[in-house]
Chain A
Amino acid sequence: MKNQSVSNNIDWMSIMIYILLVIMGWLNIYSSSLSTAAIDTSIFDFTQIYGKQFLFILISIPIIFVVLFVEPKFYEKFSIIIFAVAILALIGLFPLGKTVAGQRCWYAIGSFTLQPSEFAKAATSLALAKYLSDVQINLKHSNRQIQALIIIFLPVLLILPQPDPGSALIYFSFFFVLFREGLPGWYLGTGLVAIVVFVLTLAFENSWIVIAIATVALIFNYFRSKLIERNILASGIILLLISLFSFSVGFVFNNVFKQHHRDRFNILLGKDVDSKGIGYNTNQSEIAIGSGRWIGKGFLEGTQTKGGFVPAQHTDYIFTTVGEEWGFLGSVFVIGLFVGLIIRVIYLAERQKTKFSRVYGYCVASILFIHFFVNIAMVVGVFPTIGVPLPFFSYGGSGLWGFTILLFVFLKMDANKVNEW
């Protein structure tokens, strides 16, 4: 008989990484926001950003205890209700939400704000896990696929018009989960091809070149068939679809996208580099990180950080502080922590005894992965500028609590697995 207490079965390794990330995040927020504050204030000054973050961290502690206290059965049983509450909260933003910088993402209670989309990720994960844990479900069937996609894209539909494309993007991470649970490979394959065609179309600025490449690839595929079947008709249809997509990319890019969207892609593709206008963010962020060299300039010594050159440095661009003040070694450490945590969660998910907790764990890993990758890729200038925070690191109460709940619900499930027979 194994010891059934939570503290003996919980995965301490994940918790250690969590604590390290939260504390490092807080220190970097302190450094990045020090320049605009008076020098002599305490790190715990609640009127300052870093003081507030400290408060958020403190509040996380009771949240964690509550999450760990609740029976895991509760999450499974009430997952649909939790999901429904989250959806209602997102709908409620339209009449009740507070608009900040053009985005209607927050509920404001006095000076206190909450961002429901941060919690909706956990709710959606629960709902998806609940849906997929049904023994009847087989993702090979297209109506099952559609039902799963409805669960995923319901919140996306509500988040996109806020507008918050960054949060919406995260929901694509659930495809990893679906794939793991049996979604046909062509979903991901199509997604991959679409991304490649999209980037190539923008890079060459000519759909015909892309179509030519696709044709060559398909002919090659036809004679040494591996990926898709040797079927001239199928290949022809694929080529047609690629062509249409490529032309539509050109059309959408030039006619539907707004200028600032176009600019974000152009910067990445090395076109129209205007380091003072739209390219400013990426340029400053690269300068800050690049000036860190091997070991960085030291805590609170970053000149770019102190000068406040990097915009939104305490939120989406928090990693620039790591790069500048802690250098390449610090960056390697932080990336190592994230990769370690994600791999650890995947590992834990795979050893779950119920499908519900396995799917949920997979959702956690996928969400963390997309956040982590998109954020840092954007900061180092290989992904278009999009508002995705770095989990546990970036400033913000809703974000921190959302990720905390997301992770600890899974850790509770994992700790409880001994009881699941």
Chain B
Amino acid sequence: MRKALLPTLVIIAGSLLLIRLFYLQIIDDTLKLKSENISIKINYTYPERGYIYDRNGELLVANQPSYDIMVVPRDVKKIDTLEFCKLLNITKEDFIKKIEKAKVYSPLLPSVFLSQLNKLEYAAFQEKERRFTGFYIQKRSLRDYQIHNGANIFGFINQVNEKIIESNPYYKSGDLIGKQGVEEYYEEILRGQKGVKYIQKDKFNREIGSYKEGKFDTIAKQGKDITLTIDAELQKYGEEIMVNKWGGIVAIEPKTGEILALVSAPSYDPSILVGRQRSRNYTSLYNDSIAKPLYDRGLLAEYTPGSPFKILTGLIALQEGAINDSTTFFCRRGFRYGRKFMRCHCSGGGVRLHRAIYQSCNSYFSQSYMRLINKFKTPSQGVDVWSKHLQSFGLGDFMGYDLPTGRRGNIPTSKTYNKLYPNGGWKSTNIVSNAIGQGEVLLTPMQLANFMAAVANKGYYYTPHVIKKINGSVIDKKFRTKHVTTIDRKYFKPIIDGMFDVYNYGTAKGLGVKGIDICGKTGTAENYLRVNGKRIKLQDHSIFVAFAPKDNPKIAIAVFVENGYWGARWAGPITTLMIEKYLNRKITKVDFEKRMLTGSLKAQYQKLYPRKVQDSIARAKDSITRVKKIADSLAKIKSIDKNSLDKDKNKNKKKDTVKLKN
């Protein structure tokens, strides 16, 4: 027994040690991670972001060097804080706050202390850098905008947030990422691939050489340059014209679907989102909830399209055989359906398709639409056929263009109305305002421009896009695929003829330019705002769609000016100027130009969104009593809606007896 003790103990002790080692080395996997965190430092080299050019090869966005001051909190020794703060123009409180923030992130790892210094600030700091131990400068490349326009197309560059870091392992704290516009959509192409260098550290956090002789290191890959379809000159002109107006302009080359200009107003100079003032500027842009400069109205604003929609009503009615180009409807300066009366501003009498378009006859298109719907056994079928045709123009859905934001718009179907009239019984008369683009239909300016391009092409379109070239290689196949509409080519001719005469005898008489055959259509859309449960009628929107030249269309355009009274007042002249600018590069309509450039709708917007309303909204956010009041008013609104719905239902019953003339 005495002999056995020591050998037994040796075996037991050896086994115990092996069990412990097995636990440490195989089971507990946090230790390996800890080891990597402690002993390996990763250095990134950031490639330069790709440049952005316009369709004519003009450089729009380049890069400039910028300098971030980094801090490793643990290394910060006693420094002359006063001098430091003075040099960088920050307060002592700022200094303490930033250091604390960096400490919270990690006392050992570098974090950004102050970002995006310009060259002068950099030079001043660099001179004294060695006196500020713990701080060092990291070079980065920032955007350098060559033009002051196109902010909504480019987007901007942002530091990645926690969410992005978590969801995408490529990005590390402090990295930059493109937000909005092509910077976001083509982020991976523009940013390139950052280089990684693993560095072995010792216990003093000193670098003592590369890890594994650089076996895992990678070299940074340069970002690719991209060429946009945007015409910088046209874009600039469009933005200048839209100064002091709210709205959007979308211009497309019909034959290719290339977006020539995408104007959203109000806009901002993209260069204000670069440099040290960036976050302040961004905050003020972001907080402007009334004018919404960060909101791309060309892509996001869903408007009632108004009269331009009549073009589609006409095309579908022709296609479905509800009318032909000699069908005549009688217009009594308006159109009575049921108890409602829709005013019309055409010259009245017997109206055929041609005049119906150039004079924008409400009666004609309403009656065509009703005839179209009534052709089918049930209104549901009719609406669905109509809806299908519209969808073939890319309406009612995201269009698949290469910008990261967008809205579907709204193209109602039978489902929409079954929901609105849960007891059924809706008829063509209930939905007739769709005929003139005034009902449930909503389109974005991009969708307006796209259907105009399809009309210009007599029945096909390409998905609109802003990318023309990525460093020489061909663009995505989806932008080279022809989409054919469900309307036969022959039905476009009468419509286009009518649109041509809009300029000769119609609603846009006097807006034309000598030498350019423009086909267009005015639009004036009613719009309402709900304030405290009341439906307030606001000033109408001014809309215009057009393409030119008539025989060989090179540009299709949609212009939308919020609260611009009527189509020919603002949107019409702007359309003309844009078309002339693009096709001739010279403006002959100097009087138009002067009026549009200097004209302002600011007073109008101030009237619409008075400070009082804004203030009350702001206050409501804060106080609970206000919230209660809002709840009350909401209840009121609901009851009002209910009442009006009930009324509508009653009307439906009455309408059954009404016979319509056609």
B662 within 8 A of A: no
A97 within 8 A of B: no
User: A289 and B24: CB pair below 8 A?
Assistant: yes
A376 within 8 A of B: yes
**Complex CA–CA separation, A366 to B200 (angstroms):** 41
Taking A39-B209, A339-B14 as contacts, is the C-beta distance between A304 and B5 under 8 angstroms?
Answer: no
A315 within 8 A of B: no
Taking A176-B5, A180-B2 as contacts, is the C-beta distance between A307 and B203 under 8 angstroms?
Answer: yes
A327 within 8 A of B: yes
A294 to chain B, nearest CB (A): 7
Across-interface contacts of A342 in B (CB, < 8 A):
10
The segment out of B30-38, B168-176, B408-416 that lies at the interface is B30-38
Chain B contacts with A in 1-31, Cβ cutoff 8 A: 2-3, 5-7, 9-11, 13-14, 16-18, 20-22, 24-26, 28, 30-31
User: A369 and B6: CB pair below 8 A?
Assistant: yes
Across-interface contacts of A324 in B (CB, < 8 A):
35
Contact with B along A317-351 (1 / 0, CB 8 A): 00000011001100110011011001100100010
**Complex CA–CA separation, A327 to B22 (angstroms):** 10
Chain A contacts with B in 358-388, Cβ cutoff 8 A: 362, 365-366, 369, 372-373, 376-377, 380-382
User: B6 and A176: CB pair below 8 A?
Assistant: yes
Q: Which of B6, B16, B38, B39 neighbours the largest number of chain A CB atoms within 10 Å of its CB?
A: B6
Across-interface contacts of B26 in A (CB, < 8 A):
293-294, 328
User: A328 and B22: CB pair below 8 A?
Assistant: yes
User: B24 and A290: CB pair below 8 A?
Assistant: yes
Q: Which of B11, B16, B21, B39 contacts A304 (CB 8 A)?
A: B39
B528 to chain A, nearest CB (A): 66
User: B9 and A369: CB pair below 8 A?
Assistant: yes
**Complex CA–CA separation, A308 to B21 (angstroms):** 21
Per DSSP, chain A at the interface is helix
A184 to chain B, nearest CB (A): 11
Across-interface contacts of B22 in A (CB, < 8 A):
328
Per DSSP, chain B at the interface is helix
User: B25 and A323: CB pair below 8 A?
Assistant: yes
User: A382 and B20: CB pair below 8 A?
Assistant: yes
A205 within 8 A of B: no
Q: Which of A291, A307, A350, A362 contacts B34 (CB 8 A)?
A: A291
User: A339 and B25: CB pair below 8 A?
Assistant: no
User: B18 and A335: CB pair below 8 A?
Assistant: yes
Across-interface contacts of A343 in B (CB, < 8 A):
7, 10-11
B40 within 8 A of A: yes
B101 within 8 A of A: no
**Complex CA–CA separation, A47 to B7 (angstroms):** 41
**Complex CA–CA separation, A332 to B579 (angstroms):** 82
User: A287 and B34: CB pair below 8 A?
Assistant: yes
User: A291 and B31: CB pair below 8 A?
Assistant: yes
A71 within 8 A of B: no
Q: Which of A323, A362, A380, A382 contacts B6 (CB 8 A)?
A: A362
B201 within 8 A of A: yes
In the complex, residue of chain A having the shortest beta-carbon distance to the beta carbon of B212: A301
Contact with A along B146-158 (1 / 0, CB 8 A): 0000000000000
A38 to chain B, nearest CB (A): 11
**Complex CA–CA separation, A294 to B27 (angstroms):** 10
**Complex CA–CA separation, A362 to B3 (angstroms):** 10
Q: Which of A338, A339, A350 neighbours the largest number of chain B CB atoms within 10 Å of its CB?
A: A339
Across-interface contacts of A235 in B (CB, < 8 A):
none
B268 within 8 A of A: no
Contact with A along B523-545 (1 / 0, CB 8 A): 00000000000000000000000
B211 within 8 A of A: yes
User: A289 and B25: CB pair below 8 A?
Assistant: yes
**Complex CA–CA separation, A114 to B14 (angstroms):** 31
User: A307 and B39: CB pair below 8 A?
Assistant: yes
In the complex, residue of chain A having the shortest beta-carbon distance to the beta carbon of B198: A303
B202 within 8 A of A: yes
A283 to chain B, nearest CB (A): 9
Across-interface contacts of A179 in B (CB, < 8 A):
2, 5
User: A308 and B7: CB pair below 8 A?
Assistant: no
Taking A291-B35, A380-B24, A382-B20 as contacts, is the C-beta distance between A308 and B203 under 8 angstroms?
Answer: yes
Taking A291-B35, A373-B13 as contacts, is the C-beta distance between A307 and B201 under 8 angstroms?
Answer: yes
User: A346 and B6: CB pair below 8 A?
Assistant: yes
A70 to chain B, nearest CB (A): 27
A173 to chain B, nearest CB (A): 9
A167 to chain B, nearest CB (A): 20
Chain B contacts with A in 289-321, Cβ cutoff 8 A: none
**Complex CA–CA separation, A338 to B583 (angstroms):** 91
Q: Which of B21, B30, B209 contacts A323 (CB 8 A)?
A: B21
B229 to chain A, nearest CB (A): 51
Q: Which of A182, A292, A336 neighbours the largest number of chain B CB atoms within 10 Å of its CB?
A: A292
**Complex CA–CA separation, A294 to B29 (angstroms):** 11
Taking A290-B32, A293-B25, A307-B201 as contacts, is the C-beta distance between A180 and B5 under 8 angstroms?
Answer: yes
A190 within 8 A of B: no
**Complex CA–CA separation, A304 to B203 (angstroms):** 8
A249 within 8 A of B: no
User: B202 and A308: CB pair below 8 A?
Assistant: yes
A158 within 8 A of B: no
Across-interface contacts of B209 in A (CB, < 8 A):
39
User: A331 and B21: CB pair below 8 A?
Assistant: yes
User: B25 and A327: CB pair below 8 A?
Assistant: yes
Across-interface contacts of A264 in B (CB, < 8 A):
none
B624 within 8 A of A: no
A52 within 8 A of B: no
A11 within 8 A of B: no
User: B6 and A291: CB pair below 8 A?
Assistant: no
B658 within 8 A of A: no
B208 within 8 A of A: yes
A315 to chain B, nearest CB (A): 16
In the complex, residue of chain B having the shortest beta-carbon distance to the beta carbon of A374: B13
User: B28 and A290: CB pair below 8 A?
Assistant: yes
A76 within 8 A of B: no
A380 to chain B, nearest CB (A): 5
User: B10 and A306: CB pair below 8 A?
Assistant: no
B27 to chain A, nearest CB (A): 9
A359 to chain B, nearest CB (A): 13
User: B211 and A307: CB pair below 8 A?
Assistant: no
In the complex, residue of chain A having the shortest beta-carbon distance to the beta carbon of B11: A339
Across-interface contacts of A222 in B (CB, < 8 A):
none
Taking A293-B32, A304-B35 as contacts, is the C-beta distance between A380 and B21 under 8 angstroms?
Answer: yes
Chain A contacts with B in 34-55, Cβ cutoff 8 A: 35, 39
A267 to chain B, nearest CB (A): 15
User: A380 and B20: CB pair below 8 A?
Assistant: yes
Contact with B along A268-297 (1 / 0, CB 8 A): 000000000000000000111111111000
In the complex, residue of chain B having the shortest beta-carbon distance to the beta carbon of A295: B25
B207 to chain A, nearest CB (A): 10
**Complex CA–CA separation, A294 to B6 (angstroms):** 30
User: A366 and B35: CB pair below 8 A?
Assistant: no
In the complex, residue of chain A having the shortest beta-carbon distance to the beta carbon of B34: A287
User: A292 and B25: CB pair below 8 A?
Assistant: yes
In the complex, residue of chain A having the shortest beta-carbon distance to the beta carbon of B20: A380
Across-interface contacts of A365 in B (CB, < 8 A):
6, 10
A107 within 8 A of B: no
A203 to chain B, nearest CB (A): 18
Q: Which of B10, B22, B28 neighbours the largest number of chain A CB atoms within 10 Å of its CB?
A: B10
Extra A-B contacts (16), CB below 8 Å, given A307-B200, A343-B10, A365-B10: A287-B34, A293-B26, A294-B25, A303-B200, A307-B38, A309-B38, A328-B21, A335-B21, A365-B6, A369-B9, A373-B13, A373-B17, A377-B20, A380-B17, A380-B20, A382-B16
Q: Which 3 A-B pairs have the closest CB atoms?
A: A290-B31, A291-B35, A303-B39
16 A-B pairs, CB-CB below 8 angstroms?
A: A176-B6, A180-B5, A188-B5, A287-B35, A290-B31, A293-B26, A294-B26, A303-B40, A304-B35, A307-B38, A307-B208, A332-B18, A336-B14, A339-B11, A343-B7, A365-B6
Enumerate chain B interface residues (CB-CB to A < 8 A). Answer: 2-3, 5-7, 9-11, 13-14, 16-18, 20-22, 24-26, 28, 30-32, 34-36, 38-40, 200-203, 208-209, 211-212
